Amino acid sequence: MRVDIVSIFPEYLAPLDLSLIGRARASGLLRLAVHDLRSWTHDVHRTVDDTPYGGGPGMVMRPEPWGEALDALAPAEAPQPRLLVPSPAGTPFTQAMAHELAAEERLLFACGRYEGIDQRVLEHAAARMPVTEVSLGDYVLFGGEVAVLVILEAVTRLLPGVLGNAGSLDEESHAHGLLEAPVYTKPPSWRGHDVPEILRSGDHGRIARWRRDEALRRTAARRPDMLAALADDLDKRDVAAL
């Protein structure tokens, strides 16, 4: 997968050199480039923002540098990337969207700051590439950079060959619409707290049922919205039985 990121704070993306994302890059599974939006400005102050039409607080990112950046990174005649624009006004980012993005050849992230990017940039780009405004949740960040770190971490770990143990992908929280059961390791007793006996019983059938029940219990307590959305009402009957 190839990923381009445009930002006025390229240093904010430095963590992409680290850990498993860094390793995916080193191995060639992920080709990633970070670009400074200001390299597409032409005035001495390298201006990227201006006051909003219609009034109101804050500043809006001007369309011209963004237009040049997108022309340079996604020339009209070449295969087009999917453009992702982090915004608190976007579609919620989910594990399902992470899977969708992991299947793309190319992603292009446009990191807005201030009150956002002039909407015409997105309208213009949408004529030649798919454009998605995406939100991490119901709160407001300074800009899109941290959202890109989150999204890329969720996407990179789904790329074939990135995770050592692909089995961990389908047992995790959200894989089946439930939160994951709690986990334990050695020692069996620690500061007066014991590992649940069932997990040490060696009875794989009982262990699987216990994990399922704990997952349902947790989901009911913490994410009633997820439980309500479960496709099969079998799970809901299981919760009622807990």
| 3-class secondary-structure state, position 194 | strand
Q: Which residues are annotated as a binding site for S-adenosyl-L-methionine?
A: 112, 136-141
- Cβ at position 110, least distance to ligand 6GU in Å: 11
Say which amino acid occupies 182: P
9: exposed, middle or buried (C-beta count within 10 Å: 0-12, 13-18, 19+)? Answer: middle
- Cβ at position 135, least distance to ligand 6GU in Å: 4
Q: Is the separation of the CB atoms in 133 and 122 below 8 Å?
A: yes
- Cβ at position 112, least distance to ligand 6GU in Å: 7
Binding flag, residue 10, ligand 6GU (CB under 6 A): no
- Rounded-to-integer distance, Cα 227 and Cα 32, Å: 37
Q: Is the separation of the CB atoms in 48 and 8 below 8 Å?
A: yes
Of residues 100-139, those binding ligand 6GU (CB under 6 A):
134-137, 139
- Cβ at position 116, least distance to ligand 6GU in Å: 8
Query: Is 117 or 220 the residue whose CB approaches ligand 6GU more closely?
Result: 117
Angle at 145 between CA 100 and CA 11, to 5 degrees: 130
| Helical (H) or strand (E) element with 189 | strand 189-190
Residues 6+ apart with CB under 8 A from 145: 7, 9, 12, 13, 111
* List 20, 129, 141, 159, residue binding ligand 6GU (CB under 6 A): 141
Site string (147-186) toward ligand 6GU, x via CB under 6 A: x---------------------------------------
Alpha-carbon 152 to chain mean position? 6
Q: Is the separation of the CB atoms in 121 and 69 below 8 Å?
A: no
Site string (66-105) toward ligand 6GU, x via CB under 6 A: --------------------xxx-x---------------
- Cβ at position 136, least distance to ligand 6GU in Å: 4
Chain residues binding ligand 6GU by CB under 6 A are: 86-88, 90, 134-137, 139-141, 143-144, 147
